[in-house]
Amino acid sequence: MAKFRLPTIPSEQITPESIYQQRRHFMRLGTAALLAPMLPLGNANAATQDLARLSAVPGPFKTDEPMTDREAVTHYNNFYEFGTGKADPARNAHTLEPRPWSVTVAGACAKPGTYELDDLLKGRTLEERVYRLRCVEGWSMVIPWIGFPLSDLLRRFEPTGNAKFVMLTTLYDPKQMPGQRRNVLPWPYVEGLRMDEAMHPLTILAVGLYGHVLPNQNGAPLRLVVPWKYGFKSIKSIVRIDFVEKQPATTWNQSAPREYGFYANVNPNVDHPRWSQRRERRIGDLFRRETLLFNGYGEWVADLYSDLDLKRNF
């Protein structure tokens, strides 16, 4: 652990988005506080303004890979609550209302309850972390997320010794999420992590990307990002956190257990039953590239799985 390095991204590899480039420049100068005024202040919602005033500091992670174009990050999505096509979420997610928003915490912890998201965010330092996201379907992106470690939030609820797993649940409201009127998945969307995965410093809750509050289609107002696992583990629009003793039944695992395991660690050596996981297409690239074990994060997470047969626990 603690082998993180500060982000140093060569300027020529930075996405052309001009505002963002300016922000990166400030970051390289080490004056992260200058980020704050660059966050969007246009939203009339007071809560969003509070969020905007928080500054994002560079998080403990570096990548020298170019970031995926912001347009692709926000217009090529998986969010079945708004349709199964990649362009559907950007088109349909305007019906989602990310404020007011509350998160219910239950199960094996000393501080269960229903919390206003803005109270949970108050005073929290937001970090920017440039993480790869690799979808099980074989495409990937590099995204500058803004968020904070999931562990920081979970500790606040004082999980007990019986908390072996964390289960996360997406909003269920077919009025806001019209895709839930179709039975393409069992709703609401549920995901889970083993406690040590949830507490791992690489695991974050994101509230923004590319210097902006999360667009609805990317999982506003709060979504998980677990960079060493396939994208489907990174559950969006979270309304509930349960500390549980048994491995939770997760949405994709329930709907197709042979295709989507609970662990879902990115692994080029374990094929999906219908396709190989050897390679991936980085959105924006012409050629496919080799997929890396644990999506390239093995240095930090391989230890978590030393006792696990990754072929059986895929």
Ligand X SMILES: Nc1nc2c(c(=O)[nH]1)N[C@H]1C(S)=C(S)[C@@H](COP(=O)(O)O)O[C@H]1N2
Can residue 133 be called a binding residue for Mo ion (CB under 5 A)? no
CB 185 within 8 A of CB 255: yes
Can residue 232 be called a binding residue for Mo ion (CB under 5 A)? yes
Binding mask 70-99 for Mo ion (x = CB under 5 A): --------x---------------------
CB of 163 to ligand X, least distance (A): 22
Binding-site partner at residue 77 among ligand X, Mo ion, none, CB < 5 to 8 Å by type: ligand X
- Four-CA torsion 103, 81, 197, 240, nearest 10 degrees: 20
CB of 211 to ligand X, least distance (A): 16
Stretch that binds Mo ion, among 19-27, 39-47, 79-87, 224-232 (CB under 5 A): 224-232
CB of 189 to ligand X, least distance (A): 4
Can residue 261 be called a binding residue for Mo ion (CB under 5 A)? no
Single-letter residue type at 157: F
Binding-site partner at residue 171 among Mo ion, ligand X, none, CB < 5 to 8 Å by type: none
CA distance 208 to 219: 9
> Is 81 assigned to a binding site?
yes
Can residue 135 be called a binding residue for Mo ion (CB under 5 A)? yes
CA distance 242 to 66: 36
Structure token digits, residue 269: 């050596």
**Burial state string for 155-192 with b = 16 or more CB within 10 A and e = fewer than 16:** eebebeeebebbbbbbbebeebbbbbeeeebebbbbbb
CB of 142 to ligand X, least distance (A): 11
- # residues contacting Mo ion (CB under 5 A): 5
Radius of gyration of the chain measured on its C-alpha atoms: 18
Nearer to ligand X, 52 or 238 (CB): 238
> Is 234 assigned to a binding site?
yes
Structure token digits, residue 152: 């920081």
**Which residue, judged by CB position, is nearest to ligand X in the bound state?**
231
User: E-assigned strands of 117-189?
Assistant: 126-134, 139-149, 165-170
Can residue 231 be called a binding residue for Mo ion (CB under 5 A)? yes
CB of 73 to ligand X, least distance (A): 7
Binding footprint of ligand X on the chain (CB under 6 A): 77-81, 133, 135, 170, 189, 218-219, 231-232, 234-237
CB 244 within 8 A of CB 253: no
Beta-carbon contacts of residue 71 (< 8 Å; ≥ 6 apart): none
**CA-wise closest residue to 232 among 212, 207, 214, 259:** 259
Nearer to ligand X, 200 or 240 (CB): 240
Nearer to ligand X, 108 or 206 (CB): 206
Nearer to ligand X, 137 or 152 (CB): 137
Single-letter residue type at 247: Q
Binding site for Mo ion (CB under 5 A): 78, 135-136, 231-232
Q: List residues forming the annotated binding site for Mo-molybdopterin.
A: 77, 80-81, 135, 170, 218, 223, 234-236
